Amino acid sequence: MNNEKGYVGLRRCADARIGGFIGLLVGDALGVSFEFKKPEQIPPRDQIEMITPVTFRRSHAGVRAGTYSDDGAQAMCLLASLLDNGRLSLIDFADRLLRWLDEGYLAVDADVFDVGIQTAEALGKLRDGTSPRETGGASEWDNGNGSVMRCLPLALWHAGSDDALVRDAHLQSLPTHAHARSLVACAFYCLVARGYLRNLSDPWSSADQRLEEIYAEWPNHPERNAFLAELEVLRGFPKTGKPRGTGYVLDTIWSARKALEEHSFEDVARTAILFGHDTDTTAAVTCGLAGIKFGIDGIPARWLEQLRGFENVEPLIRLIKGCPRLA
């Protein structure tokens, strides 16, 4: 692949939305090889690459380097649904998630090799005919990161109000993750992404304040108090010490926030992976924001050259370019 083709050719694009979308895929693909590893098992920072050291035992060893996993594929399902429908259609989106699981829709090589337990159970209910509003896990133990990992395209596509973005962020989470904590986490993350798109000086604090304001304006919503309570849980999540990079949704957001203190896309990505454990999702969530912040020009060309699945991504990129940008 040369600089005129594939992902590398996109480096000429100044659209921060493209940077965010490709950043998510790069982070996911980079993290695939290190998934399930403890921090002490991960190679030194300068050896964190798409192609790992020969002595390192890769996770998903049968998967070619540069392949994005469930994070990227589900994000693409959401983006494709938004672009085709011009709105968030929960039924259409849920159908695409099921097509991904059953047929490899939008997966690289149509190979679904990494599926979260909670997501698999929820999509099984969907296959059996349950409404996508009712398939997601709704207990406090059902707050994995499987819906926050895919929700960035909503923020990249959405040109509506912050209130509308928050409502859609909640909605896209329901098919797999229906607890109020997951809904709040997705809404918060989308507002953070919007803050980066608007070049705010502190997207994280802005998202926190704005989300509280939005929930306060929902006096008749049956879950308003639950949302406000979960926002407090998010705020109170340990913000000292080192993030653990686990699959818990709040740890994923905290890990992303800490990694984004670095000053380049490459360092952000490597820091996210050095937290260990759920490295593909931590890096996907983190690098989506880093792609907005640093732009696609900030993503190392070698990682773009090694990223696979362009045939799935390129049609969506063309459609994104035709969408109105956030004012």
Cβ atoms of 152 and 21 closer than 8 Å: yes
pLDDT tens readout for residues 116-160: 889 999 999 999 999 999 999 999 999 999 999 999 999 999 999
Q: How far apart are CA 84 and CA 95, in angstroms?
A: 13
Residue 15 labeled ligand binder: no
pLDDT tens readout for residues 262-271: 999 999 999 9
Confidence of residue 327 (pLDDT cuts 50, 70, 90): low
Looking at the DSSP bridge assignments, the partners of residue 37 are: 277
pLDDT tens readout for residues 180-203: 999 999 999 999 999 999 999 999
Residue 281 labeled ligand binder: yes
Query: Average pLDDT, stretch 75-86?
Result: 98
Residue 185's nearest CA partner among 87, 85, 281 is 281
Query: Average pLDDT, stretch 102-123?
Result: 95
Per-residue pLDDT at 1 = 39
Confidence of residue 3 (pLDDT cuts 50, 70, 90): very low
Instruction: Give the whole-number percent of the chain exceeding pLDDT 90.
Output: 92
Residue 69 labeled ligand binder: yes
Residue 46 labeled ligand binder: no
Cβ atoms of 131 and 105 closer than 8 Å: no
Residue 10's nearest CA partner among 322, 301, 264 is 301
The string of DSSP letters for 115-165 reads: --HHHHHHHHHHHTT--TTT-SB-STT--BSTTGGG-HHHHHH--S-HHHH
Which residues, 6+ apart, have CB-to-CB distance to 264 below 8 Å?
Answer: 294, 298
For the chain, the structural domain boundaries read 6-321
Give the CATH class of 6-321.
mainly alpha
pLDDT tens readout for residues 62-79: 999 999 999 999 999 999
Which residues, 6+ apart, have CB-to-CB distance to 252 below 8 Å?
Answer: 145, 148, 149, 245, 246, 278, 281, 282, 285
Cα–chain center distance at 191: 13
